[in-house]
Amino acid sequence: MKIGIIGKPNVGKSTFFSALTETDVPIADYPFTTVKPNVGMAYVRERCPHAEFGTDCNPRNAPCIAGTRMLPVELIDVAGLVPGAHEGRGLGNKFLDDLRQADGFIVVIDASGRLDLEGNPSEGSDPLADVDFLKEEIYHWVAGIMEDGWVRTAKRLEIEGGSVEDEVARRVTGLGISASVVNKVINRFDLTKPENWGDEEFLKLAGALWEESKPMMIAANKCDVASDANIDRIKSSGYPHVLVSAIADLTLKKAEKAGAVSFREGGLDILTDDPRQRKGLEYIKDRVIERFGTTGVQECLERLVLDMLDMIAVYPVEDETKLCDKYGNVLPDAYLIRRGASARDLAYLVHTDLGEKFIRAINCRTKRIIGAEYALEDGDIIKIIAHR
């Protein structure tokens, strides 16, 4: 699973990325600090089932910390987007091309309203304008991919016959948009006479395809310096959002490693006696933790992955009684997969051969044999049986 972190320059995308991945990346107060995309690993949290069975787990791909399984999610932090990117402005098409393989996006916006759309200092800007222009740039980019050479293609389809849905799907498959989504969207709009499609039809189609395939969560960053009016505007926007202070999150994680604080959601204990450290930490405690209860960073990722993308945790094992692999590791692996995916889908996720040679599976809780089309549920522990 890949999640893209996007937004205009200078809103704190790289800080947000560093807070989630706990890795060092270039962070500076000027546009285009990020040129090449930063790639790192973050985690979403799920309750590990080992305690339910009165055993200990031996994780391999997803650590277990105090009964919480940390499931990996790949993050891509791409260069800032500016108006006209689909026409090549800024880092333009390179930025847009980096979005192709992401399953969903966290859109980092400047909740303080202190930056213009280019990422330069400016008072009184509308934070939600960040979202509107970004969506417009992406939709124009997708529409351009579909529209390129369309008149000639439409004439060929009219003469030779063929499926408009199949042709559109062929053009957007590289964006990670499935044929089923293309069919659903085209049928919804009832777009007839494809030979007459123009900019308006392609933009309408592009927006619907993107929103259906690539959910976007708004990270309203710099909430500690945002006005109440801006916060109220974001809350009433209708966009899925989380109020975020990425710099506070990153600072607290570094301070906790240094033993300067004890940090948990909803509470912060300052342990350092250093007056300069205390001043900064007290600001975070007052302006972020006591005001909002959290920095919002982890919540933002989990709401996108677990709620909007509707991903669940599933545990494949080789021994349905001991819940282990062939080496005796209990609940060794945990995978994120879309709710409702099938047992065969899980088999393919583990290894292509398992999917191709799938015979049946066993639900380790019920000990019942399940078929290839069994719809997986959150926390399922599954043994897959395949031809050798």
Q: Report pLDDT digits (tens) over 191-200.
A: 767 888 888 9
Residue 47 CA neighbour count, 13 Å, CB half: 7
Regarding pTM above 0.85, the answer is: yes
Per the DSSP assignment, residues forming a β-bridge with 3 are 75, 104
> What gap in Å lies between CA 379 and CA 335, rounded to an integer?
10
For tokens 């005001």, what's the residue? 291
Residue 38, pLDDT score: 84
DSSP letters of 106-134? EEEEETT--B-TTS-B-TT--HHHHHHHH
pLDDT, mean of residues 121-129: 88
Please say if the pLDDT value at position 120 is more than 70.
yes
DSSP letters of 257-290? HTTSEEEETTEEEE----HHHHHHHHHHIIIIIH
Domains defined for the chain, CATH in brackets: 2-127+215-305 (3.40.50.300), 140-208 (1.10.8.470), 313-386 (3.10.20.30)
Q: Report pLDDT digits (tens) over 46-90.
A: 999 999 999 999 999 999 999 999 999 999 988 677 656 555 544
User: Looking at 12-16, 94-98, 221-225, which range is the least confident one?
Assistant: 94-98
Contacts of 112 (CB under 8 A, 6+ apart): 127, 222, 225, 226, 227, 230
For tokens 């993107």, what's the residue? 210
Q: How far is CA 205 from CA 97, 145, 147, 164, 167, in A?
A: 19, 12, 11, 13, 13
pLDDT, mean of residues 282-301: 95
Cβ atoms of 355 and 326 closer than 8 Å: no
Helices (H), 236-360: 246-257, 275-284, 290-292, 297-302, 343-350, 352-356
Q: How confident is the model at residue 209 (pLDDT cuts 50, 70, 90)?
A: very high
Q: Report pLDDT digits (tens) over 230-255.
A: 999 999 999 999 999 999 999 999 99
Residue 82, pLDDT score: 64
pLDDT, mean of residues 338-351: 96
- pLDDT above 70 covers a percentage of the chain that reads 91
Average pLDDT, the chain: 89
pLDDT, mean of residues 94-122: 83
Quick check: helix, strand or coil at residue 227?
Answer: coil
Cβ atoms of 176 and 213 closer than 8 Å: yes
Select from 35, 48, 38, 33 the least CA-distant residue to 3: 38
Q: How confident is the model at residue 93 (pLDDT cuts 50, 70, 90)?
A: low
Please say if the pLDDT value at position 214 is more than 70.
yes
Q: How confident is the model at residue 30 (pLDDT cuts 50, 70, 90)?
A: very low
- pLDDT above 90 covers a percentage of the chain that reads 69
* Residue 92, phi then psi, degrees to nearest 5: 40, -120
Residue 330, pLDDT score: 97
